[in-house]
Amino acid sequence: MKSGHTEQTGRGSTLSRLCGALAAVFWLLALAAGIVRGFAGSPTILEAVMRRTAPAEQTGLPEAEYAGVVRMTAGYLTGKEAEFQYRIRGSGGEEILCFQPHEAAHMADCRELIRLDTWMLFISLAAGAALFAAGVFRERRRGRDAAEIRRGMRTGIWIVGGIISVLLAWAAVSFEGFFITFHRLAFTNEGWLLDPRTDLLIRLMPTEFFIFLGVLGTAVFLAGAAVMAFAVRKRRHYGL
């Protein structure tokens, strides 16, 4: 009888740890999705990085037009703008379209990715909350605290940390290879292969633009993961 109870208790602890681990994975996935969504919809961040990595003398876009292009881009990616296009006035007063149809088509693909990313954000938050609640319910029903859930969450954080470390190492060794692989997986066409000689979009968002955003996003993600790890750290009960 005791053996059966011990086996049942062990199985219950394993399930609670699994709930905690999966909750941590989903919440970290939500954090990553939130960072992507936040960057894509932030004119302030996009403009600051664009001005740093793609100055006007390299892009050919007048300095005064950067803010407008960035507002349009952020609005389009987040569904607030219906069209990806920016118009400026030429020296003779004529209207000039900044982006060609194939550039707009690629940004339409990007907008779909941001839409999926937004869904992933909400689904991951909900899944993490449901798993965490299920783990807490199991532990409280057994008259225990959340130690097993915290242990599982620490495992989940380590798993995600290992995956992130591999991806960061890959990007550090060969960012071009990492970048190309990502695009081949994310897009079903080769519309992302733009020519800087003719396409303003790639001049505004060169490789350095994405490297800077990647470093910034990684820093924010690691800070969030550190906060989660601190929150689920092992508690010490002194004098017990």
Res. 141: pLDDT tops 80: no
Q: How many domains does the chain have?
A: 1
Structural domain contains residue 89 = yes
Instruction: Establish if 168 belongs to a structural domain.
Output: yes
Averaged pLDDT of the chain: 89
For residue 189, what are the domain limits? 2-231
237 belongs to a structural domain: no
Domain annotation covers residue 194: yes
**CA 8 to each of CA 1, 2, 4: distance values in angstroms, whole numbers, following the listed order:** 11, 10, 6
Domain assignment present for residue 240? The answer is no
As a whole number of angstroms, the distance between CA 166 and CA 138 comes to 34
Tokens of 110: 């990007």
**pLDDT, tens digit (0-9, with 9 covering 90-100), for 175-215:** 889 989 998 998 888 889 999 999 999 999 999 999 999 99
Q: What is the pLDDT of residue 232?
A: 86
Q: What are residue 42's DSSP bridge partners?
A: none
Contact 6, 144 (CB under 8 A): no
Residue 240, pLDDT > 50, answer: no
Q: What is the DSSP letter of 233?
A: P
| pLDDT value, residue 237 | 42
Q: Is the pLDDT of residue 168 over 50?
A: yes
* 113 Rama sector, left if φ>0, alpha if ψ -120 to 50, beta otherwise: alpha
Residue 239 included in any domain:
no
- What whole-number distance in Å separates Cα of residue 65 and Cα of residue 50? 12
* Confidence check: pLDDT of 7 > 50: no
Domain-located, residue 29: yes
Asked whether residue 180 is domain-assigned, the answer is yes
CA distance 62 to 158: 47
pLDDT at 239: 37
- Which residue shows structure tokens 């399930």? 15
